[in-house]
Amino acid sequence: DTGVSQDPRHKITKRGQNVTFRCDPISEHNRLYWYRQTLGQGPEFLTYFQNEAQLEKSRLLSDRFSAERPKGSFSTLEIQRTEQGDSAMYLCASSPDRVYNEQFFGPGTRLTVL
Amino acid sequence: QKEVEQNSGPLSVPEGAIASLNCTYSDRGSQSFFWYRQYSGKSPELIMFIYSNGDKEDGRFTAQLNKASQYVSLLIRDSQPSDSATYLCAVKGTGGFKTIFGAGTRLFVKA
């Protein structure tokens, strides 16, 4: 399977705990995105990487959220001190280095904060 | 005003009919426009993208773009029950690589 993969697929945690999600993009894609999606809404942009450089970050992203892509391949998204409002589907997408920027999504990680 | 607006639906069409999904956007300088299909509990799947005014056809799907009216649409011909899903419109704006998604339109195709 050469698509985008994400791990874990589901995560249940207690409020206040830290969680980390991993995304492996399509191997030849330089661009990687993280989104958050809640029920009835479209994906909400969180951050964007071009290779290992984090070039854009949503102003909605609080200091509790951090993302890395250390070698320009896989990426991690960490949420510190989780809150119930963080419960959502976290989606990763990757795209080739083309002007049109078409993105291909992974299966997502569903986070539930109790 | 939302950056990307879609009618939430649900839009219900009989099997074999044409389904027409619409989207408007606020950034006049937007460059690329995408349609994604999302089944319940699944992640978005790219259907097609368009970047110049006019129509673009791919099988049963046709995307239409009118930059002057800031309007993009998706037509699904010969609709099938398997087309029942939420259709997301997405727009890449003028700055950077941020892509803004609409909230989606739910489509039901009745057998």
User: What DSSP string runs through B74-85?
Assistant: EEESS--GGG-E
Whether B46 has its CB under 8 Å from any CB of chain A: the answer is: yes
Mutate to test the interface with B, among A102, A109, A110 (most CBs of B within 10 A): A102
Distance from CA of B22 to the nearest CA of A (A): 15
Q: Do A101 and B102 touch (CB under 8 A)?
A: no
Asked if B70 reaches chain A (Cβ–Cβ under 8 Å), the answer is: no
A1-58 confidence digits (pLDDT tens):
579 999 999 999 999 999 999 999 999 899 999 999 999 999 999 999 999 999 988 8
DSSP state of B102: P
Q: Is the pLDDT of residue B1 over 70?
A: no
pLDDT of residue B2: 75
List the one residue out of B85, B83, B86, B88 whose CA is nearest residue B111.
B83
Contact A91, A99 (CB under 8 A): no
Residues of A in contact with B45 (CB under 8 A): 105
Q: DSSP assignment, residue A84?
A: G
Position A100 confidence tier, pLDDT thresholds 50, 70, 90: confident
CB-based contact A104 B46, cutoff 8 Å: yes
Per-residue pLDDT at A59: 83
Distance to chain A for B85, nearest Cα, Å: 12
Q: Which residues of A touch B99 (CB under 8 A)?
A: 33, 45, 101, 103
Q: Which of A40, A99, A105 sits opposite B103 (nearest CB)?
A: A40
pLDDT for position A102: 87
Provide the pLDDT for residue B96. Answer: 72
| Over residues B37-47, mean pLDDT | 95
Low-confidence winner among A25-29, A76-80, B10-14 (lowest mean pLDDT): A25-29
Per-residue pLDDT at B60: 97
